[in-house]
Each structure stands twice: as C-alpha cells, then as structure tokens.
Amino acid sequence: MEQRKLGTQGLTVSAIGLGCMGMTSAYGSADEGQAIATIHRAFELGINFLDTAEVYGPYTNEQLVGRALRGHREGVVVATKFGFKFQNGVRGVDGSPENAKRVANESLMRLGIDVIDLYYQHRRDPDVPIEETIGAMKDLVEAGKVRYIGLSEVGSETLRRANAVHPISALQSEYSLWERGVENDVLPAVRELGIGFVPYSPLGRGFLTGSVDVATLSQNDFRKTNPRFSEENARANESLVAVVRGVAEQCGATPAQVALAWVLSRGDDVVPIPGTKRVRYVEENAGALDLKLTPEQVAQLDGLASKTAGQRYAPEMMKLVER
C-alpha cells in the first residue's frame, strides 16, 4: 500500500488508516470478534495506522486494540489520545502535564505495548498553556514512552506555539466533503510548519456513503446528538449524497470510495482514518486508493460543503473546537 509521511520527524504510515472508535462505542452495538477481524484484515491489506483514544469507551477501545495487536505489533503505528477528565462520564478537558503523563502510562498498559507511536492531545484545555502540555509530551518522547506527538482540533496559533516547544508530527481534525472548516487558516499553517494532516470522519460519520438512515439510529448512537443528523437536516443533506452517488456511478466505484478519494487528493501529507467495525467496509475503503477522480469530478464535489445543513457538533462540543 502507498505510504505517506506525517510531519518531518520520520513518521511514515499507510495512506489510509483505520479509526477504531466505533468498535466499542459511539455507533450502536459492538462485536469484539468482528472488530478484531476487521483490524487483522486491515493489516493484510497494508493498513498499518490504527487510531484509538482513552475517551473511547472510555478505556475499552484501547483494550480491544491491545488484544488485536497481540502477535501483530511489528510494523503497526498506534495512535492514541488523552485530554479529558472523567467522573461518571466525561466532565471536561484536562491538558495538565500530570494528566498527559498519567494517561500515557495507563494507555501503554491498556494497549499492551512499550511505546506509543503517535500521542495526541485530544482537545486543547483553555486553562492550561499549550506550552505546558507540549512540554510534558516532550518529556514522554525523551523518556522513550512516545515516539511522535500530535494535536487534535486546534487552530493555527495553537499549532505554532506548540511546534515551537517540540515538533508536531500530525494534526487530527474533522475533514470531508461536507466539513471544510480547516481550509481557511489551519491547513495553510500545517503546510507552513511541515505537519502531517489526519482527517477523521472523512465519510461524514457514514452519511456520505448513502447507507445511513437517521430514523433507524439506535438511542446510544453518538450521531443522534449531531445536528447534521437531525431529521430535517438529514433530509436536506441527502442532496449532497446524491452528487457523491452520481460521481460514483461515473467511476464504477462506491460513494465511500469517492468521498475518500477526494480527501486523499488534497495532498500527499493527508492521511484519512475512516472508521469501521466490519471487514467488508475496510476492504471497500482500501479500494479508494485505486480511484483517481478527474478534475471535473473534483470540481463537482468541491462545492458540497457550502450546501451542508447543520453544525457538525452540538454547541457544547463545538466549544472544544478551535479554528
């Protein structure tokens, strides 16, 4: 599989990664056997970049990934994230140096590995200077517990301040045909600083595949809290799916492959991490690397974000996103 570089510190990963969040939380029922089979199939396809986090579950997703890694650690790049505080659920953010170091140690144990390949701050803590948080992450690199560090959903100013303390290898933020908010300021800063970009939810949390019926989402499905998945907004957003489906028919591909091919076309420093818990979908996603969109098709897809109905998160979660 094609390899891409994230940052300038030496981190190289498969051109598509695998988001593991939905294997244990957020998107309805979970099946561990199926999830581990999906991870192992990803390895067979050459996908070596796994994304998890302390908050997924919490804790259970890292534990599952750890079980899937047994006997498969060599050549696999494991990314995980810290940055929340818990007390009967998530209760805000915690970017303190103490939390950064404590979570790293706990994540290593849950994952059953000796070093975290890529360690992200999941959301910035406005009460802790970013220099202090990155300083602690730098200490983890120097201690051999972390290889590379990253940030998630931060703005260009934060990126520059963080990178001045220690080189940032990757920024993870939402980016897709229907979410382009990073393009104005964040992506230019990423390119200026030589930081890799890791888009999560490149399939619009599944909506852009045309396979999501919001009326049938289970009560514990995270998407029910997202304004774009309200009944009214979902009806409006079906027009976006129709365009993606039309391009897919032209290409002899699936809508998911078209949506991923568009993200992949944004630059060689872009590595999307579509999430799935099923073997057939990881196989389908891998096929996006063989799809080359024409300039006319790219132009047709480029305008979709301006037509998207609804915010991507509920107001409380939007407060944790920098632009």
Token reading at 240: 């976006």
Which residues, 6+ apart, have CB-to-CB distance to 317 below 8 Å?
A: none
CB 11 within 8 A of CB 147: yes
In the residue annotation, 27 being an active-site residue is answered as no
Distance CA 59, CA 170 (A): 23
Out of 56, 175, 200, 281, pick the active-site residue.
Answer: 56
Q: Which amino acids are annotated catalytic?
A: 56
